[in-house]
Chain A
Amino acid sequence: MNLVDIPVKTLDKPTGMASALLVELHGHLNRLLSSGETHLIDLMSLPLSEADINELADLLGVGEVKATISSIGSSSIRETAYSGIWWVTHYGDDDKVLSELIEVTLVPQILVTHIDEVRHSAQMMANSLSGQENVN
């Protein structure tokens, strides 16, 4: 017997939450324009059904940027058809969704390289260059 054979049915119709979120996102886009204020919406903290999520994804559409991060599972960062609105999904190493965010910003925070890592890589490169000098 498969899961689909069990005759339990659940509601799977959009509830209208996606349209409400769109209104909220419009406000945040205007604030990004007027004052540079960024915003994050945690989709997992909202009572959204799968149908709501799908409707929101349809309403926001697909933009031209897509990035993937690999760190203990992957992360998918996609700009929506509305520039400045990003859809960020973090997965665990078992492909389970750990968190799902809508970020209203010019560049999502997770894409920006942290200054500590720049410092670390500069040190690593210095070590590498001094190693080459020693060889030569």
Chain B
Amino acid sequence: MMTEEQVEKAETLGKSLISNGVSRRTFLKFCSTVASAMALPPAAAQAMAEKLSQATRQSVIWLSFQECTGCTESITRSHKPTLESLIFDFISLDYHHTLQAASGEAAEHAREEAQKAHKGKYILIVDGAIPVKDDGVYSTIAGITNLQMLKDVAKDAMAIVSVGTCAAFGGLPKASPNPTGAVAVSDIIKDKPIINIPGCPPIPVVMTGVLAHVLTFGIPELDIHGRPMAFFGESIHDRCYRRPFYDKGQFAKAFDDEGARKGWCLYEVGCKGPVTYNACATVKWNNGTSFPIQSGHGCIGCSEPDFWDKGSFYKALPQGQWGSAEGIAAAAAAGAALGIGAAALAKVHQNKGEG
């Protein structure tokens, strides 16, 4: 971690990476990958590479509250250096109580020093919900409640990134009956820009992409739930490779029927893809191997607020909102452009905050 004086003299990322053997072509390749994942105009990669090369390492303080550490696992899972992991060369992770070597008072001292040295300039990343019932006594770190630590660290942050559905929307800790009074970061902090990256866990390249965007072009465009439009602008259903079956009215009725074996749409067995906004269908998981629908299971909607309390994962979405499968099939047979219409309907729901 740098002192205030060292912060002033810090060299640019471009110089420091060349010295460490990371070429500009690697830099450009990273930016091309991020730009592609974020659906930025392809030419933005060049501009992003130029801006990143002129930037200095960004101080980041990462606070983990009521969570399972799955979000940290997701972003650090690689056992070998990957292009995505280059993001760790662009930031200075000054406090993360799971990853850092220091513990106890030394760890808390590191956090306080980082806050002082980068006052008003650091990015605060939060994973986990914050319990507020009984003054927040249900989760503490170093004797400080999560509630108090969030307020203390947020006040000098440049921006806050809520990683995972727990930090973004309360997630599982907030699920009924919510015994600890868990809430999202945005329920407590009202005077700072907050970017929500929900998902249980979020996709690694989504976290990488958003951080790279903040370092270069600033806060990305957000939807009504504070999620970057680049990754959460389209529903799983919009980009699902099984979408042609939906449009034709071909549905699996059970997980072991002929429709399931033929890879038909999982809408009738409870898929929440039509009302879930995330990039799983395009970016995919496990190094791009697949995503839940590709593995034969419907989307459970984990990047949406209160997904745990919205009824069974195996119950079809309510009729009226989406229409019955029979109705969809009839409309498709009649040549109606229902697929496009359904996507437009989802957009309306998202814009109204009903998504």
Which A residues are within 8 Å of any B CB, using their own CB? 7-11, 40-42, 44-45, 47, 49, 69, 71-73, 75, 90, 92-94, 96-101, 109-110, 114, 116-117, 120
Task: Identify the 10 closest CB pairs spanning chains A and B, nearest first.
Answer: A40-B42, A114-B24, A71-B26, A99-B36, A98-B33, A8-B263, A42-B42, A99-B32, A99-B33, A96-B288
**A20 to nearest B CB, angstroms?**
17
Chain A contact residues: helix, strand, loop or mixed: mixed
Which B residues are within 8 Å of any A CB, using their own CB? 14-15, 18, 23-26, 28-29, 32-33, 35-36, 39, 41-43, 45-46, 53, 80-84, 86, 239, 241-242, 244, 261-263, 282, 287-288, 296
Residues of chain B lying within 8 A (CB to CB) of residue A49: 241
- Interchain residue pairs with CB less than 8 A apart (16): A7-B261, A10-B241, A40-B42, A42-B39, A72-B26, A72-B83, A90-B83, A92-B83, A92-B84, A96-B288, A98-B32, A98-B83, A101-B32, A109-B28, A110-B32, A114-B24
CB <8 Å contact, B42 and A92: no
Residues of chain B lying within 8 A (CB to CB) of residue A92: 82-84, 287
CB <8 Å contact, B282 and A110: no
CB <8 Å contact, A72 and B46: no
CB <8 Å contact, B82 and A69: no
Residues of chain A lying within 8 A (CB to CB) of residue B32: 90, 98-99, 101, 110
CB <8 Å contact, A94 and B36: no
Residues of chain B lying within 8 A (CB to CB) of residue A120: 18
CB <8 Å contact, A101 and B23: no
**B137 to nearest A CB, angstroms?**
45
CB <8 Å contact, A40 and B43: yes
Residues of chain B lying within 8 A (CB to CB) of residue A90: 29, 32-33, 83
CB <8 Å contact, B42 and A69: no
**B91 to nearest A CB, angstroms?**
18
Residues of chain A lying within 8 A (CB to CB) of residue B80: 93
Residues of chain A lying within 8 A (CB to CB) of residue B242: 10
Assembled-state Cα–Cα distance A71/B20 (Å): 13
